[in-house]
Structure 1
Amino acid sequence: MKRDQRCFHCGLPVTGITACEQEIAGEKQSFCCTGCMTVCQVIHESGLDDFYNRLNYQNAEVPPPEMPVELEQYDLPEVQKDFVRSLADGRKQAHLLIEGIHCAACVWLIEHGLKEMVGIEFAEVNLAHQRLNVRWNSDELALSEIMHRLAKLGYAAAPFNPEAAEGSLQRRNRSLLFRMAFAGFGVMNIMWISIALYAGAFSGIDSEHKQFFHWISLFIATPVLIYSGWPFFRAAMLGLKQARLTMDLPIAIGSFATWAYSCWITFHTSGEVYFDTVVTFLFVILIGRYLEGLSKRNASSAALRLMELQPRLATRILPEGEERISVRKLIVGDHVLVGPGEKIPADGVVLHGESYIDESMLTGESRPLRKEIGASVVAGSMNVDGSLTLEVGSTGADTALARIVTLVEEAQGSKAEVQRIADRIVPWFVAATIGLAFITFIYWLRSDFDTALLAAVSVLIITCPCALGLATPMGIAVGVGAGARRGVLIRHGQALETLSSITHVVFDKTGTLTEGQMKVVQTHLNNNFTHDELIDFAAAIEGKSRHPLASAIVAELKGKQLPCEGFLSESGLGVSGIVKNRRIVIGNQRMMQRENISVPDQIKDQQFQIEQKMGVAVLVAVDGEVAGLIHVQDKVRDEARALIQSLSEQGIGITMLTGDSIQAAHALKNSLGQMQVVAEVLPEDKEAEIRRLQEIGEKVLMIGDGVNDAPALARADVSMAMGSGMDVSMACADIVLVSSDLSRVGFAMHLSQKTLSTIKQNIGISLAYNLILVPAAMAALVTPVFAAIAMPISSLLVIGNAILIRSRVGKRRVADMVDSSLKLPVQV
């Protein structure tokens, strides 16, 4: 083999005893090791040869990492609970750290290599963080198979750990701090040399001493350029390899050009050197980058603060006594003791004791909530006073806190449409920067090379697309974090942008405008049935349903629940089944009509009176004859009336959708205020109503419970779900109200308006900065050091303005987003 031959896969030189050859696509290729050869064979056999067209493999840096072993351990539920999220229908989602990613070609290979696997629904790689977000069907595919596939493609995968990621962020900041300190040390020393040279220029200095100082400056500046400037050079080179113009490219060109020119002057012993300029502006830029990194972390630290809510230890109760263990060792069904002042270690149910629980960091609700036996509690909330014994229901990634953290992380990393536009502008911005610097250099070169060089470098440094690139993501990150702290979980940035332009709000009734906690008020009987018999028959059927009405009827059951056969649910109508060999039909008037069951006049009268009071009349028929009706009552949310009036005053259209009768819907309308009412609708009818509003030009916000409203939520421009259905809500809604507090609808709309306004201000700051200072730099009125100071200031201004979103929305309490004087409790 030739010594200069390179590996076909990774691009390293083919030397040593590990070198080998293999025929690929009819041509013999050389490889540096069997690992590269094996991976290349897999890529070729999988039909992914386009990887090498994208790779430009000579730029690759290292061969594939060592193949992982014992991947089957990641299929164990106790291992997956820390980093795998279970979704509906056997689907799972995980974030994996990928070792061996070098460039965009690697991203392409991983995404396409996984998407061809049966069971993979979604695979997306974040190149900057070397992280894979993958969603798959666990009934068709095991996680270990995904990781084996990645290994065959040449990449090692490991579970993503937020704590490890935070440690990595701290290491990067520490590295930046070291580089900044090294540059600062260089500045302190080179300044003495510069002072000597400037003083000598006025008092007279012989050429030998001047040359001596030039060489000392060279020896100081060169290590600073290599070590402190490496992050800029590395980012610029990676961008060029991927045919992208990055924000670090102008800095790299400017600093290297100034250093190279100063080296040329040093070697030729004539002219002025600018090593001090190189060292100083690198030092200043690193200060700006470090402060910018701290500001970014502070601005988008909502997920980190949520993670800090998770306690590290728990007191598990065993037959032989109590033990303190890591929360990672808890399993579903364990009993744990939580004392006063301790955090709840896992989601669960109270078995013994009663106490007040502070859930403010999760829900935004400032008042502690009383929890008694049977009440649900969530991990991360604080036990205020009493001692509680809990049965663990969910641990690790399955807890509500873990799901919220994941939601916030994904939202803060998402892109709104305005950001996508900015991202497309940035490369052209960089190209324009280089072009303007070149024009500046050519223009001033006619008079003086030194002036031309310094002016061009000033243009390269001061023309900063960083602020433009940060304008939107910082606004989105702060807005999402501000919402999370107040119990408003925003799934992606686009939702914030669209919410600010909503013209029509559509509400579901049950569980949204009302609390959805139905209670049986009384029964009205027909023929010879008793109250207990009517409830027994109804509860036997409703026990298999998850509707709020069903829960109310089952809760009324006094004795043992009767067995039911042939259960059938008709969405928007009712349910039916066989109990004690008798056919039971339960539902509304339309259900009875469909079953050809006649409703007696006296029952119709009772039904009309109940619906006039905004109650719900549930008809119960036994063997084709109406046995009676059950009067079920709900309670309107305290904030509903104030919210409806506030939206009306803003000129926003309002519609209420409900499957209840027209009489009940209009009774609620009369209580809450002016709105359009669409009653007796099925789930698919709700979706059709949303579509009708969109066709006439409305931008629609749909607010529902996230279960029966799923089609309508999916159709709306922005969807908002109440936190009562957390699992389903997170899956189908753009925004989730964790505490189910309707006043947070007003807060979310106010937050979206402030966030979008701040993003526009940030873009304006970035453009104004460049419009003012770039012409000054081109006119040689700005030095490179001043440019280095001004550039990070523009980014810090953008970050600082984004952080102000918190105070802008914080000036008005959540409860004040609607007029609190209008909050009148309304009983339904």
Structure 2
Amino acid sequence: MNAHQTHQVDPNPADQNPVDQDSTDTDQGCFHCGLDVPVHSNFVTEISGKPRRMCCPGCQAVAQAIADGGLDNYYKHRTGEIRSPELRDQAIPEQLLAELALYNQPSIQKAFVTDSDDGTKHAALVIEGITCAACVWLLEHHIANFEGVNKISVNLTNHRASLNWDNDVIQLSDILSEIYRIGYQGHPYHPDKEEQMLATETRKATRRLGIAGVFCMQVMMLAVALYAGDTQGLEDHLVTFIRWASFALATPVVIYSARPFFEAAIRDIKTRHLTMDVPVSIAIGGAYLSSIWATITASGEVYYDSVTMFTFFLLIGRFLEMKARHRTGRAGNSLLNLLPASAIIISNGEEQMIPATDLNAGDRVLVKPGHTVPADGVILVGQSSIDESALTGEYLPVSKSAGDPIVGGTINVENPIQIEITQVGASTQLSAIVRLLERAHEEKPPVARAADKLAGYFVAAVLITALTVGITWWFIAPEHAFWITLSVLVVTCPCALSLATPTALTVATGTLRQNGLLVTRGHVLESLSRATHIIFDKTGTLTEGNLSLQQVVVLEDQDREQALTIACALEAHSEHPIAKAFHKQAQYLPAIKSAEITNHVGQGLEGCIDSKRYYLGKPRFASQHSNRVLDYCDAPDNHSQWLLLSSETGPIAWFGLTDPPRKQSQTTLAQLKAAGLQIEMLTGDSSAAVQQVASELGINKVIAGVTPEQKLQHIQQLQDSGARVIMVGDGINDIPVLAGAQTSIAMGSATDLAKTNADAVLISGELQRLPQALYLGRKTQAIIRQNLSWAIIYNLIALPLAATGMIAPYMAAIGMSASSLVVVGNALRLSKLSRINRVELPDTSIQTTES
């Protein structure tokens, strides 16, 4: 056996237990990071001759690399409780630098780093130590100043950072060490590990809150005796005893429960950047130290009750804010946690269970009823219903059979199926959705950036105001100066102002994702609330996109089967919804190969078969080389969408396709109209089917037969005239207009390129989600305005009251905590979609005429 070897632990402890039970390290949790080890974890690394338990593959990989590099001494320097190092602008220990350097290795980065198209790298990190918007500002501005860091965006709500850097200029370990150097701790983001970090944070917060609450009650009882003694008389030795007893009870609250405030304040002072923790720490520390002086000298007043009560109420506010943040964070984690830990592969006719992370493209996997699909694939054998609700928000299972694609993270409901894996790891649809969701959190709308900047200035204003109030009261009534200044510091802390915008945006974005609309850009909610026009593509957007070939009309003496075979060969490699109608027919026809296929976007296909050139698409395009150019008026009828197949010698056949409108599309459009939006259809199709769909759905303005360039031009003209446009599309021909519109939404069935260029993705494919998103966007903006207004009005009212001595310090603590809770509670109203009023639909019977 090697000096350092990785083991897999048998989950049944009765059969095997390689972990040294005498080691206290294994009892305390993960040997590497100290977090709790999940019950069924099977990650163990041998270090210094002993097997050590790990909580996740990331810790196992890093610990193995440390051991293989001969750096075992790193673990010998750790004693007592395993904690993140508390570094405050000082030299980082060599052991920590060695550990951070391991994150530069490609084998370790594979788990959390992705390569961008421009050659840069992207990583998602979790930052510990963030307390308010000013922390976010400091992290973003400090790290962004380093050469090679292209972008860093920190989300205040879930404490995650999105980092993009040039690996040829700066290493990831250098960035992480700078984060440590300014007083925070950065870790690679992993949903399982973050869950453990959230649990650890909750335990610590609960202990701090519990100690503050218990001792606060005891100090308050003693304070009642002192207050009563002032009026009824109390012997001096009893007063002295009560003061010292209060000191003993208040000390654990200040030293332990209030410790996070002091640590953050020291960090902020050293980095020369103000956050709300600075005035809070001054208030707590000043009151505590002055009370100690009064106790020792037996003179003046003691305010241990105010100190403990102030800390207790502050911690209550922070605790409830933390729980709300954890709730939104877990909503994002739930996506990646959809994938199972193991999978059953079929090899040589035998079933074998392996970790899902070991799957490769091409593996044959058995998915039993009730089990989760481990990765993207195609069904080979079997038929079953698949529950896709976690991804699409649609609670009804979808029927799938052999040949149908299936997405990792969905649940097999009825029968066992065998699938062939097509995509694993970062290439799966689930990973793509997570990346798009992270992109939305990276971007901050103008109102959020303004609030972040305002919070920093506000803290400076609070300190200046408190100093002014203190000096003024020193000349008016010196005995009250300190406590009035203390109240001003406490009551005006900008907690509510910092939380007003990010909490609302995060909750609303999570609500939309859970209901099938994935927001991928930060401005979407604001743009939805201000939209004036919504423009739809037709095929695959307003219609189901499941075109079916209904008629084949050959011209002159052409052979029907031969014409259909040629058309199927031309469409064989296209992913357009029209092409899929021919894919279904191709399995019943002889296979022939086509060459030199050219896609004329918005027009049709051109290809060469048996040295003869063919054209399939719009009539004018297909017949351009014929003696007579045909148009839709030459089609057999006006009830279908007609394509023409021609060769260089002349037209061959007409193909009639039909595509019914999506379910609830008529109701959806009526609700959008009722919300005040102008609706248009913008399509490259110029067939009679366009007017038929428009009439059925009640769309008055239709622009048909336009190219992608003309679509973009029309959108730009609308926007130049002051319109705020939402564009909804799904095809490659919609990419330019999706990128050019102020707000763009791609259908869930759209091409990957269309989804990438869109601001949101309608994963569920249900148009009914659009009016819901519109209403939620408007509600979000209203709640943000309410939160900001409340935060400003509260401070405008509380500041004069505190400055005039009408608010005691403990009352200020209650008011500040209550203000923050009002903001968070108001934002949580966005966690459910509002019920939309029913709209009466007009009679839209369709009139057709013979051509």
TM-score band by shorter chain is 0.7 to 0.9
Partner of 2:379: 350
Counterpart contact for 1:302–1:408, Cα < 8 Å: no
Cα displacement (A) at 1:589: 3.1
Q: 1:200 & 1:499 partners in 2: Cα distance? A: 63
Q: 1:650 & 1:104 partners in 2: Cα distance? A: 37
With over 3 angstroms needed to count, the CA separation of the structure-2 counterparts of 1:755 and 1:108, relative to structure 1, is: closer
- Map of 1:667-706 to 2, 5 A cutoff? 667-705=692-730
Deviation readout 1:673-708 (Å, 9 max, x if unpaired): 233222221212211111000111100001111532
Deviation readout 1:331-358 (Å, 9 max, x if unpaired): 2222222222222222222222212222
Counterpart contact for 1:350–1:372, Cα < 8 Å: yes
Counterpart contact for 2:377–2:405, Cα < 8 Å: yes
Where 2:369 maps in the other structure, the secondary structure is: coil
Deviation readout 1:203-261 (Å, 9 max, x if unpaired): 54455554454444444434432322221122223333344321222211111221232
Q: 1:822 & 1:105 partners in 2: Cα distance? A: 59
Q: 1:590 & 1:728 partners in 2: Cα distance? A: 28
The one of 820, 830, 835 aligned to 1:811? 835
Partner of 1:39: none
Q: 2:660 & 2:136 partners in 1: Cα distance? A: 57
Counterpart contact for 1:84–1:397, Cα < 8 Å: no
Residue 295 of structure 1 aligns to which amino acid in structure 2?
A: A
Q: 1:676 & 1:625 partners in 2: Cα distance? A: 35
The one of 551, 559, 563 aligned to 2:593? 563
Partner of 2:661: 636
Where 1:499 maps in the other structure, the secondary structure is: helix
Q: 1:540 & 1:145 partners in 2: Cα distance? A: 50
With over 3 angstroms needed to count, the CA separation of the structure-2 counterparts of 1:143 and 1:560, relative to structure 1, is: farther
Residue 823 of structure 2 aligns to which amino acid in structure 1?
A: V
The one of 307, 325, 342 aligned to 1:296? 325
Q: 2:162 & 2:123 partners in 1: Cα distance? A: 6
Cα displacement (A) at 1:714: 1.4
Residue 776 of structure 2 aligns to which amino acid in structure 1?
A: L
Partner of 1:783: 808
The one of 378, 386, 397 aligned to 2:426? 397
Residue 387 of structure 1 aligns to which amino acid in structure 2?
A: P
Q: 1:653 & 1:817 partners in 2: Cα distance? A: 19
With over 3 angstroms needed to count, the CA separation of the structure-2 counterparts of 1:827 and 1:550, relative to structure 1, is: farther
Residue 776 of structure 1 aligns to which amino acid in structure 2?
A: L
With over 3 angstroms needed to count, the CA separation of the structure-2 counterparts of 1:742 and 1:530, relative to structure 1, is: same
2:493 is equivalent to residue 469 of structure 1: no
Cα displacement (A) at 1:288: 1.9
Percent identity, please.
35
With over 3 angstroms needed to count, the CA separation of the structure-2 counterparts of 1:493 and 1:99, relative to structure 1, is: closer
2:260 is equivalent to residue 231 of structure 1: yes
Return 5+ residue gaps in structure 1 as ranges.
1-56, 117-121
Where 2:523 maps in the other structure, the secondary structure is: helix
Deviates more, 1:418-427 or 1:690-699: 418-427
Partner of 2:47: none
Counterpart contact for 1:413–1:477, Cα < 8 Å: no
With over 3 angstroms needed to count, the CA separation of the structure-2 counterparts of 1:827 and 1:541, relative to structure 1, is: farther
Deviates more, 1:519-528 or 1:701-710: 519-528
The one of 318, 333, 340 aligned to 2:347? 318
With over 3 angstroms needed to count, the CA separation of the structure-2 counterparts of 1:760 and 1:185, relative to structure 1, is: same
Partner of 2:555: 526
Counterpart contact for 1:315–1:337, Cα < 8 Å: yes
Cα displacement (A) at 1:537: 1.9
The one of 353, 366, 387 aligned to 2:416? 387
With over 3 angstroms needed to count, the CA separation of the structure-2 counterparts of 1:271 and 1:98, relative to structure 1, is: closer
Cα displacement (A) at 1:578: 1.6
The root-mean-square deviation of aligned C-alpha atoms, in Å, is 3.6
Partner of 1:282: 311
Partner of 1:495: 524
Cα displacement (A) at 1:773: 3.0
With over 3 angstroms needed to count, the CA separation of the structure-2 counterparts of 1:419 and 1:111, relative to structure 1, is: closer
The one of 468, 473, 476 aligned to 1:444? 473
Counterpart contact for 2:604–2:622, Cα < 8 Å: no
Partner of 1:46: none
Cα displacement (A) at 1:531: 1.5
Residue 400 of structure 2 aligns to which amino acid in structure 1?
A: K
Counterpart contact for 2:100–2:173, Cα < 8 Å: no
Partner of 2:680: 655
Q: 1:61 & 1:313 partners in 2: Cα distance? A: 43
Where 1:680 maps in the other structure, the secondary structure is: coil
- Map of 1:536-547 to 2, 5 A cutoff? 536-547=565-576
With over 3 angstroms needed to count, the CA separation of the structure-2 counterparts of 1:401 and 1:817, relative to structure 1, is: farther
Residue 309 of structure 2 aligns to which amino acid in structure 1?
A: T
Residue 124 of structure 1 aligns to which amino acid in structure 2?
A: I
With over 3 angstroms needed to count, the CA separation of the structure-2 counterparts of 1:715 and 1:232, relative to structure 1, is: same
Counterpart contact for 1:565–1:578, Cα < 8 Å: yes
With over 3 angstroms needed to count, the CA separation of the structure-2 counterparts of 1:827 and 1:354, relative to structure 1, is: farther
Deviates more, 1:492-501 or 1:626-635: 626-635
Deviation readout 1:365-410 (Å, 9 max, x if unpaired): 1221111112222222222222222222223333323333343344
Cα displacement (A) at 1:108: 6.0
Cα displacement (A) at 1:727: 3.1
Q: 1:256 & 1:475 partners in 2: Cα distance? A: 33
Partner of 1:585: 615
- Map of 1:75-94 to 2, 5 A cutoff? 75=106, 82-84=111-113, 93-94=122-123
Partner of 1:167: 196
Deviation readout 1:775-796 (Å, 9 max, x if unpaired): 3222322211122122211111
Deviation readout 1:399-454 (Å, 9 max, x if unpaired): 32333334334434642222222222212322332233334333433453342222
Partner of 1:124: 152
The one of 110, 125, 148 aligned to 1:115? 148
Counterpart contact for 1:104–1:127, Cα < 8 Å: no
With over 3 angstroms needed to count, the CA separation of the structure-2 counterparts of 1:62 and 1:371, relative to structure 1, is: same
Q: 2:127 & 2:711 partners in 1: Cα distance? A: 43
Aligned residues: 752
With over 3 angstroms needed to count, the CA separation of the structure-2 counterparts of 1:458 and 1:98, relative to structure 1, is: closer
Partner of 2:756: 731
The one of 52, 67, 76 aligned to 2:98? 67
Residue 779 of structure 1 aligns to which amino acid in structure 2?
A: T
Q: 1:598 & 1:475 partners in 2: Cα distance? A: 63
Q: 1:313 & 1:581 partners in 2: Cα distance? A: 52
Counterpart contact for 1:635–1:826, Cα < 8 Å: no
Cα displacement (A) at 1:286: 1.1
Cα displacement (A) at 1:716: 1.1
Partner of 1:794: 819
Where 1:422 maps in the other structure, the secondary structure is: helix
Cα displacement (A) at 1:458: 1.5
TM-score of the superposed pair, with normalisation by structure 2: 0.80
Where 2:663 maps in the other structure, the secondary structure is: coil
Deviates more, 1:157-166 or 1:616-625: 157-166
Q: 1:332 & 1:823 partners in 2: Cα distance? A: 49
2:219 is equivalent to residue 190 of structure 1: yes
Cα displacement (A) at 1:190: 3.2
Partner of 1:626: 651
Where 2:530 maps in the other structure, the secondary structure is: coil
TM-score of the superposed pair, with normalisation by structure 1: 0.82
Q: 1:90 & 1:641 partners in 2: Cα distance? A: 45
With over 3 angstroms needed to count, the CA separation of the structure-2 counterparts of 1:290 and 1:109, relative to structure 1, is: closer
Where 1:562 maps in the other structure, the secondary structure is: coil
Counterpart contact for 2:622–2:645, Cα < 8 Å: no
With over 3 angstroms needed to count, the CA separation of the structure-2 counterparts of 1:480 and 1:726, relative to structure 1, is: farther
Deviation readout 1:699-737 (Å, 9 max, x if unpaired): 000111153211111111111110002633441111111
Cα displacement (A) at 1:292: 1.9
Counterpart contact for 2:732–2:751, Cα < 8 Å: no
